[in-house]
Amino acid sequence: MQSQWVMNEMQTVDLRDKRLERRLVNLLDTLSQASTASIPAACHNRAEMVAAYRFFDNDKVGFEDVLAPHIEATYQRVAQQSVVLLVQDTTELDLTRPHSEMEGAGPLHNGRRCGALMHLLHAFTSDGTPLGTMSAEAWTREAKTDQSKVKRGSSEKRLQCKRKPFEEKESVRWLQTAEHCAEIKYDCPETQLIMLADRESDITQVLNYCSCQTDFDWIIRADGDRVLNKSSATQPSVSMRDALRKTKPLYQQSLAVRSRESWGSPTVKHRPGKADRPARVVNVAVHFSEVTLNDPRPGRRDGLTVNTLLVREVKPPKDVQPIEWVLLTSLCVDTREQAEQLIGYYLQRWMIELFFKVLKSGCKIESRRFEHIDSFLPSLALYLIIAWRSLYVCRVSRTHSDVSCELIYRESEWKSVWQVVRRTLPPKQPPNLLEMTRIVAELGGYVNRKDTGPPGPQSMWLGLQQMHLIATCWITFGPGAKQFSV
């Protein structure tokens, strides 16, 4: 029996072939029950395994085709919310193999690895519950010849990038995704949409487009510093951060900062300025102001007017890099409550990093063995849906803790797991969602005590796999099962 959530998610599937559509629904149900397992291990027999690989190899099955019904279902969930955070980000999919490379895979960051890149727009509620993917683009880079190699970071490389039209750069994806956010408003007119993006999206063309929009709000973290627009040629240049530091703080508060370890070689770190730091408690001041930034594009003299919020550490200790970051936004801040809400919205951007972790560690997407990238991409789309479901179950149990667990779990699932874990007969009335989720997470190694917080995604995806096995045995051999004759 197929899972109800799979049937709901695949209602609008359209592959122009009924057999392929049935295969997609069956594959989603099968692979979601063993997300960390290889495809042969997740399938129930050899015939099902062969059918799975034939599906991914089929020329009629593409990345967008597999993801389309999930996107449609996500639109419906977004339309039911009052506020939705649209988080966009890019991730690398490392498909490097020790002995044989996947055909069609391209070079990644340092040139020694190969794989694909994916830019995702994912919807979250204001409390971090994932609603699903709104748009996704996957691509590979072309390998460079020896004659065209230019040292990364060199002046020649920077000059090449500057001369290249913006429409031909990879960074145009940030603008295209922002344009898609405006299109979403037409289908979700009653929902306040807030686009979130990290420092890589701090691009003049993106800020210019967003500042002209009324269909959605946006929050972008500034990358480095910018110069304020000058009213005359004789006026000295003033940096954005210096101008914000001189404003009166809205308020001050203490924040607990986690430790961080940079990665890379001793001489070349992953990102300049992102040094190691210890865990500590910092006192920060929050500043807010409307500023007009200089527009560096030729012929642009009016500048870009945006709202800015600065969070900076007050009196940092010596030999420690101070905490300081700037948010560029369309949201206005007049009170401390509005500033705290804005910061709270941006902190939910971390949820897309957690989603990528579920995709890579919980679904093992980078370990999938395909000979060609064209077969890998449809499987990537399928596991995007599975990753969403795993994270959704984890997060919705926190926000709807008191509702019946049958919002997520079937009767055969919660009753069988209850009896296995608690070693007692299941109650007549289903327990609440948070209690049942804690019990399922115990199957994945979660320590269920009163002083422990809600389970994380790793214990959940491991627990869900065990739950599917236990529920299958319950249906086959448990109460109400048909008697098999030998």
- Domain boundaries along the sequence of the chain: 1-144+158-198+349-399, 220-262+275-346, 403-477
The pLDDT confidence band at residue 317, using thresholds 50, 70 and 90, is confident
In this predicted structure, what is the pLDDT of residue 111?
A: 67
Q: Please tell me the CATH superfamily of domain 403-477, with its number.
A: Transferase Inhibitor Protein From Tn5; Chain (1.10.740.10)
- What is the percent of the chain where pLDDT is above 70? 89
- Is 70 exceeded by the pLDDT of residue 266? no
CA nearest neighbour of 114 among 376, 325, 359:
376
Q: Of 24-38, 149-163, 288-302, which gets the smallest average pLDDT?
A: 149-163
pLDDT at 147: 47
Q: Is the pTM of this model over 0.95?
A: no
Class of CATH domain 220-262+275-346: alpha beta
- Is 11:69 a contact under the CB 8 Å cutoff? yes
Bridge partners of 305, per DSSP, are: 292
Instruction: Give 483's DSSP letter.
Output: P
Whether residue 177 contacts residue 68, with contact meaning beta carbons closer than 8 Å, is answered with no
CA neighbours closer than 13 Å in the CB half-sphere of residue 46: 0
* pLDDT tens sequence across 397-456: 888 888 999 988 989 899 999 999 999 999 999 999 999 999 999 999 989 888 888 888
pLDDT score, position 485: 47
Q: Where are the beta strands (DSSP E) in 70-161?
A: 83-94, 106-107, 114-125, 130-139
pLDDT tens-digit map of 269-308: 444 445 567 778 889 999 999 999 988 887 777 888 999 9
Strand partners, 103: 372
116-154 in b/e form (b: 16+ CB < 10 A) is bbbbbbbbbbbebbbbbbbbbebebeeeeeeeeeeeeee
